[in-house]
Amino acid sequence: MTSVMRNIVVKKIKVSKALSKSGLPEYDYSLNPYIGCLHGCRYCYAIDFTKGDPARRWGEIVYVKINLPEILRKEVKIYRRGVVGISTITDPYQSIEYKYNITRRSLEILLENRFRVSIQTKSPLVLRDLDILERYKDLVEVGFTITTLDETKKRFIEPWTPGAESLMYALKRLSEKKISTWIFVGPIIPDVNDDINDLMRILDLARETGSEIIFDYFRSHVGSIDMMRKYFDQSVIKKILSKDYLKWWNNLINILMKYCSEANIRCVTADEYWKNISRRRVGEEKDLLFFAEK
């Protein structure tokens, strides 16, 4: 564990909407219970989609959308049913969720109203909501972002996230309960978390838990590159911005895909996944044609 202290600021705010139209092709809506993220990952893209103080002091300031469940309760009665991504620009199970329960209450409202939900997190706190997930397992899937299982590396790139062992445990537990799971292995950053043995361990975890894998490389955004410059060796940034960057990625992905196919693990790159998105919707596509009752 890192021993550096942080000055954390948590501020409650009121919002006028809960669901947003998602920019990601796999979701109809996104729901972000918080603005900012206390996990403070040092490559985070969300910084580029966040405004104000939480973006300026990434990982230290978070706004809690305190009235979000009340707003959501009204929206689910009038919005067309669809797939909701929780969350897309913050971690829905960062530590303050333990106190505020915004994610839990939203999850319950969405599922009671037959919206489909895809959760993405780096936290085993999702297990707290196992009762809801089990009740609605036909409507829900849980994805874990795992960039490394090497704890030293993890402390460096994702300093405030829960440990790798606890994530492995959470994934196994959900899989035992027959809840659909997937692992997002990304971003993979050259010379940071591209060690083949480490990645193979993640693939073994996927095989053990029956999870699908989505691989992705680091995609440059202005804010995340600026943040990375503070922490990462300049040679890493140079590599990411070099014209050979995709060559490095293609070589790596060929090795990983070969292993996936030999080990019979469902693996896909994020680019392929987005291209063939209809096959990965949570549940049946036809349900998206239904409308929520007024």
Residues from 150 through 169 that contact ligand SF4 (CB under 6 A): 158
d(CA 180, CA 79): 25
Smallest gap from residue 235 Cβ to ligand SF4 (A): 22
Among 37, 68, 117, 192, indicate the residue that binds ligand SF4 (CB under 6 A): 37
Phi then psi for 140, rounded to 5 degrees? Answer: -135, 150
Both tokens of residue 184?
A: 């997002």
Q: Report yes or no: 114 and 125 within 8 Å, Cβ to Cβ.
A: no
Rule CB under 6 A: say whether 91 interacts with ligand SF4. yes
Owner of token pair 């707290």: 128
Rule CB under 6 A: say whether 142 interacts with ligand SF4. no
HSE-up (13 A, CA, CB side) for residue 260: 20
Among 33, 40, 82, 186, indicate the residue that binds ligand SF4 (CB under 6 A): 40
Instruction: State the burial class of residue 197 (Cβ atoms within 10 Å of its Cβ: 0-12, 13-18, 19+).
Output: exposed
d(CA 209, CA 150): 19
Rule CB under 6 A: say whether 46 interacts with ligand SF4. yes
Rule CB under 6 A: say whether 64 interacts with ligand SF4. no
Both tokens of residue 110?
A: 């969405």
Among 33, 63, 64, 90, indicate the residue that binds ligand SF4 (CB under 6 A): 90
Among 81, 104, 116, 122, indicate the residue that binds ligand SF4 (CB under 6 A): 122
DSSP character string of 56-69? HTTTTEEEEETTHH
Q: Is 265 helix (H, G, I), strand (E, B) or coil?
A: coil
Smallest gap from residue 159 Cβ to ligand SF4 (A): 10
d(CA 272, CA 267): 10
The nearer residue to ligand SF4, 31 or 265, going by C-beta atoms, is 31
Smallest gap from residue 260 Cβ to ligand SF4 (A): 24
Stretch that binds ligand SF4, among 22-30, 36-44, 74-82, 250-258 (CB under 6 A): 36-44
Smallest gap from residue 97 Cβ to ligand SF4 (A): 12
Stretch that binds ligand SF4, among 38-46, 111-119, 198-206, 242-250 (CB under 6 A): 38-46
The nearer residue to ligand SF4, 108 or 158, going by C-beta atoms, is 158
Rule CB under 6 A: say whether 86 interacts with ligand SF4. no
Interhelix angle 234-241/222-231, nearest 10 degrees: 150
Q: Is 212 helix (H, G, I), strand (E, B) or coil?
A: strand
Among 39, 65, 154, 281, indicate the residue that binds ligand SF4 (CB under 6 A): 39
Contacting residues toward ligand SF4, per CB under 6 A: 37, 39-41, 44, 46, 90-91, 122, 158
